[in-house]
Amino acid sequence: QDIVETIWQNYVDKTPQRVKLLDTFMAFLIVVGVLQFVYCVIGGNFPFNAFLSGFSATVGQFVLTASLRMQTNPENKADFRSISHERAFADFVFGSLILHFFCVNFI
């Protein structure tokens, strides 16, 4: 229990607010994906392509957000020297638009 408290306190103290916001959004995406899957199992999957589209949008958005988190985390600055925060966010927005365009068309 002390290990978990130490890790949590270190996360709260040393993690920038921007990264915490991205982590919260990623946790939200996990909850949404789990709820979609549980609904598919319990409620049925009559329009199966709608489930696939929604679930793939959730997973795809999680991957794009994880990429944005890696590129904007100050601890990874040495790995992404040539990418500014603005460029990383623009790539995130562009990728999200393409992802959701294909998901809506798949429905």
Q: Which residue has the tokens 């993690």?
A: 15
Q: Which residue has the tokens 């798949």?
A: 106
What digits encode the pLDDT tens for the residues 79-107?
888 888 899 999 999 999 999 999 888 87
Distance CA 18, CA 24 (A): 10
What digits encode the pLDDT tens for the residues 21-80?
999 999 999 999 999 999 988 887 788 888 889 999 999 999 999 999 999 888 888 888
CB count, 10 Å around CB of 51? 18
Residues 6+ apart with CB under 8 A from 23: 15, 69
